[in-house]
Amino acid sequence: MTSPGSPTTAPVGTGSTASELFDSVLRYSNELFRGNREILRESYIPARLPHREHQIRQVAEVFAPALKGDIPSNLLIYGKIGTGKTAVVAQVRQDIQRRSDLSAHITFVTVNCGNIDTPYSLLQTMGNTLAPREADRIPTGWSLDRVQSTMRQLMDARGGTLILILDEIDRLVAKSGDGVLYTLSQLNTELEEARLVIVGISNDLKFTNNLDARVRSRLNEEKILFPPYDAPQLQDILRDRAKEVFKDGVLDAGVIERCAAYAALENGDARRALALLRLAAEMAERDRAKRITADHVVKAKSRLEQDIIIECCRTLPPHCKVLLYAILQAYERRRGGVLTGEVYDGYARLSQRLGLQPLHARSISNYLSELENLGLIRATIVSRGRGGRTREIVVDVPISETMPALEEDPLLAPLGRPKSLNQTILTNFDNPGRTGPY
């Protein structure tokens, strides 16, 4: 809480020019932070991972045989999002690499399968990490067999144990199947000097169900489950970071507790807790406040929820995006609920404008249910007397932010805000519901 006599808000400059505004922002930008605000970013690996001591030890125990030249077991790590899987493995890797007596025998390759999701790119990345010279690197365009045998030679030339960390391994399997995992899991029978250990990390607890039984049993030699964090654990994680990143006394009582409580309700996700704290600090800065208050956390939460909605809109299938766009247009024009007939007409008109063949009413009805399940719209049945019943649709997303997010898709870009005055007149005519400065 704010103590009496200590205002949380500093006087804002009355200047009206951009330069004066920037001066005022810079003046207050360091009120809250000690220095490096990257500490609150996801990519930062803190020196300590509270409440993951047990898992760090378990991972280290699995790797330990490599220190004596024995082959460690393959390992699968499971846990919901933001439970510290990537951070724990990165920390164990760092600890080993810091010690020259250990790192001589062990090489790590960490691959994020969200980006590298084909057998070729995976084997190429492994080979290129081991290539001692630029000339030994594996180019694109070789046959998969050649990449595989070159990678094996590079492994044998290096010797020791290669620990391959496949983060988000479920994405690799979803995109390319389990063929490359089969190849890798039997590589030790072909290697002469080197040994391979596979560490798979996944937040999809059921992903091994889709694996070939041999691959499943080879990967599953050791298994570690990361439980979600509870609210007091998240508080400890946040307090550690807050001490590093904020100046003394800028956090009101209750800020950390609130961030932790919200994130604990969202599956115990530490990433969410940190994002809330970071956004709350940004909200406080925007208000030129001298302290971060519980109110800033509330604002941060609603901003984060909006961001999630907008991200969800970006990933909809193309026709579903056009449909949502038509709903938003009609809703904005009417300033209230729209009937399904109107939505169909709007969707068909937009599809034609974009050169798309409109889908049948049945598919559109399915898409409407999908948008409702995602919480983007709400539909209620309304009676129209003798005209029967229809559905009235209400929008549950911020229109001013969702429309531009949809327009980012090149397919919908022609519907976007016009760049020139001529276009402005045309588009306003075409799209009378769109208001606001252009």
Task: Classify 79 as helix, strand or coil.
Answer: strand
Region from 42-50, 105-113, 149-157, 288-296 binding ligand ATP, contact rule CB under 6 A: 42-50
Helix (H) or strand (E) run with residue 111 in it? strand 106-112
303 contact choice in Mg ion, ligand ATP, none (CB below 5 to 8 Å, kind-dependent)? none
Give the footprint of ligand ATP on residues 102-131 (CB under 6 A). Answer: none
Cα–Cα distance for residue pair 280/291, rounded to 1 Å: 10
Residue in 58, 66, 82, 185 binding ligand ATP, rule: CB under 6 A: 82
89 contact choice in ligand ATP, Mg ion, none (CB below 5 to 8 Å, kind-dependent)? none
Region from 20-28, 83-91, 118-126, 424-432 binding ligand ATP, contact rule CB under 6 A: 83-91
> Is 337 an interacting residue with respect to ligand ATP (CB under 6 A)?
no
**Cβ partners under 8 Å of residue 424, min gap 6:** 418, 438
Residue in 7, 15, 35, 46 binding ligand ATP, rule: CB under 6 A: 46
Cα–Cα distance for residue pair 315/302, rounded to 1 Å: 20
228 contact choice in Mg ion, ligand ATP, none (CB below 5 to 8 Å, kind-dependent)? none
Residue 82 or 119: which CB sits closer to ligand ATP? 82
CB of 62 to Mg ion, least distance (A): 18
Residue in 34, 37, 51, 434 binding ligand ATP, rule: CB under 6 A: 51
203 contact choice in ligand ATP, Mg ion, none (CB below 5 to 8 Å, kind-dependent)? ligand ATP
CB of 171 to ligand ATP, least distance (A): 11
Query: Which residue from 102, 116, 132, 212 is spatially nearest to 164, judged by alpha carbons?
Result: 116
> Is 81 an interacting residue with respect to ligand ATP (CB under 6 A)?
yes
79 contact choice in Mg ion, ligand ATP, none (CB below 5 to 8 Å, kind-dependent)? ligand ATP
Task: Classify 164 as helix, strand or coil.
Answer: strand
Q: 297-321 burial string, b = 16+ CB within 10 Å, else e?
A: bebbbebbeeeebbebbeebeebbb
Asked whether 259 and 278 are in contact (CB, 8 A), the reply is no
Three-class HEC string of 329-387: HHHHHHCCCEEHHHHHHHHHHHHHHCCCCCCCHHHHHHHHHHHHHCCCEEEEEEECHHH
Type of residue numbered 208:
T
CB of 210 to Mg ion, least distance (A): 20
Asked whether 339 and 383 are in contact (CB, 8 A), the reply is no
> Is 79 an interacting residue with respect to ligand ATP (CB under 6 A)?
yes
81 contact choice in Mg ion, ligand ATP, none (CB below 5 to 8 Å, kind-dependent)? ligand ATP
Cα–Cα distance for residue pair 363/344, rounded to 1 Å: 11
> Is 270 an interacting residue with respect to ligand ATP (CB under 6 A)?
yes
> Is 129 an interacting residue with respect to Mg ion (CB under 5 A)?
no
Could you give the count of Cα atoms lying within 13 Å of 386 in the half-sphere of its Cβ? 0
Q: Output phi, psi for 55, to 5 deg.
A: -70, -35
Cα–Cα distance for residue pair 405/407, rounded to 1 Å: 5
320 contact choice in Mg ion, ligand ATP, none (CB below 5 to 8 Å, kind-dependent)? none
Give the footprint of ligand ATP on residues 231-250 (CB under 6 A). Answer: 237
> Is 83 an interacting residue with respect to ligand ATP (CB under 6 A)?
yes
Residue 82 or 127: which CB sits closer to Mg ion? 82
**Cβ partners under 8 Å of residue 253, min gap 6:** 1
Region from 66-74, 78-86, 276-284, 388-396 binding Mg ion, contact rule CB under 5 A: 78-86
CB of 240 to ligand ATP, least distance (A): 6
160 contact choice in ligand ATP, Mg ion, none (CB below 5 to 8 Å, kind-dependent)? none
Counting other chains too, the contacts that 112-117 makes at CB distance below 8 Å and 24 or more residues apart are: 112/167, 112/168, 113/166, 113/167, 113/168, 113/169, 113/170, 113/171, 113/172, 113/175, 114/167, 114/168, 114/171, 116/172, 117/171, 117/172, 117/175, 117/176
Residue nearest to ligand ATP (CB): 84
**Cβ partners under 8 Å of residue 220, min gap 6:** 74, 76, 208
> Is 86 an interacting residue with respect to Mg ion (CB under 5 A)?
yes
Residue 28 or 108: which CB sits closer to ligand ATP? 108
* Count of residues interacting with ligand ATP (CB under 6 A): 19
Cα–Cα distance for residue pair 127/147, rounded to 1 Å: 8
83 contact choice in Mg ion, ligand ATP, none (CB below 5 to 8 Å, kind-dependent)? ligand ATP
Contact code string over 186-205 relative to ligand ATP, x by CB under 6 A: -----------------x--
Q: Which residues bind ligand ATP (CB under 6 A)?
A: 42, 46, 49-52, 79, 81-87, 203, 237, 270-271, 274
Q: Which residues bind Mg ion (CB under 5 A)?
A: 86
